[in-house]
Amino acid sequence: MAGSSEEAPDCGRGVVIMDDWPGYDLNLFTYPQHYYGDLEYVLIPHGVIVDRIERLAKDIMKDIGYCDIMVLCVLKGGYKFCADLVEHLKSISRNSDRFVSMKVDFIRLKSYRNDQSMGKMQIIGGDDLSTLAGKNVLVVEDVVGTGRTMKVLLSRLEKYKPNMIKVASLLVKRTPRSDGFRPDYAGFEIPNLFVVGYALDYNEYFRDLNHICVINEHGKEKYRV
């Protein structure tokens, strides 16, 4: 992205969006009219998201190799990222000389109420995680913040003795509360902002927004529960 973001030398950080990045004016883009007045600015346009995911798919396939993959999608925020990532992975497989089997399973994690972390993570679903035994597992998450949520999930998954676990996260937040966890594959490293769009929600709103945007105080209050 132009201006205050850069591709970090450490590609594991993804595309780094700096703290002073002003974002894009909302008037430059189309977005649902029912969200007019609820957003500050566009942080990452939809087209940039799609291009970055395509590159992540290439990196994942190069790293993991052409072996069968069990994709574990973290719902609900990760479903759009997961769907687009899996489609790119399948495209790479279709254009290779070896078929790669990809199965997708789902789990839900609950750690936010309004814009605050509840501290304790609730895991919903995952009754069939025993099927992960001996598999190459790719966990697909929307946002890694402190890293504590993902560490709890990974400790749960490791009990089922998969062959390998890798984590792909669309976003990684720079937060002083981080415990140092980093996903194996990161789309974007962003400031410590509460963002919505591209299936990322605020109390179930904004999932229908294609761009990743920063919600304003009016939006938070309007959709607060």
- pLDDT tens-digit series, residues 2-36: 333 344 345 678 999 999 999 999 999 999 999 99
Query: Could you give the dihedral angle defined by the CA atoms of residues 40, 31, 81 and 77, in that order, rounded to the nearest 10 degrees?
Result: 60
pLDDT tens by residue, 59-113: 999 888 878 899 999 988 889 999 999 999 999 988 888 778 889 988 887 765 5
What backbone torsions phi and psi does residue 109 show, to the nearest 5 degrees?
Answer: -120, 140
Q: What is the pLDDT of residue 22?
A: 95
pLDDT tens by residue, 111-143: 655 555 555 666 677 657 888 899 999 999 999
Q: Where does the pLDDT of residue 51 fall: very low under 50, low under 70, confident under 90, or very high at 90 and above? A: very high
Q: What is the pLDDT of residue 122?
A: 66
Contacts of 204 (CB under 8 A, 6+ apart): none
Outline where 65-194 has alpha helix (H): 79-94, 148-158
Q: Where does the pLDDT of residue 223 fall: very low under 50, low under 70, confident under 90, or very high at 90 and above? A: very high
Instruction: Give percent of the chain above pLDDT 70.
Output: 88
R_g of the chain, CA atoms, integer Å: 17
Reference 211, options 13, 21, 31; nearest CA is 31
Contacts of 99 (CB under 8 A, 6+ apart): 93
Amino acid type, 217: E
Contacts of 196 (CB under 8 A, 6+ apart): 39, 202, 205, 206, 209, 212, 213, 214, 215, 219
Which tokens in the block code for residue 137?
Answer: 């597992």
Q: What is the pLDDT of residue 6?
A: 40
CATH topology of domain 11-223: Rossmann fold (3.40.50)
The rounded distance, in Å, linking the Cα atoms of 41 and 125 is: 35
- Cut 0.75: pTM above it: yes
pLDDT tens by residue, 170-188: 999 998 888 888 999 999 9
Cis peptide upstream of residue 76 (ω within 30 degrees of 0): yes
Kind and range of the H or E run holding 62:
helix 46-64
Other CB atoms within 10 Å distance of the CB of residue 133: 11
Q: Where does the pLDDT of residue 197 fall: very low under 50, low under 70, confident under 90, or very high at 90 and above? A: very high
Contact between residue 59 and residue 88 where contact means Cβ atoms under 8 Å apart: no
Residue 18 DSSP label: P
Please report the beta strands in 145-220, taking only residues with DSSP state E, as ranges in sequence order. Answer: 164-173, 185-190, 195-196, 212-215
What strands, in cross-sheet order, belong to the sheet with 15-17?
A: 5-7, 15-17, 185-190, 164-173, 136-144, 69-75, 102-113, 116-125
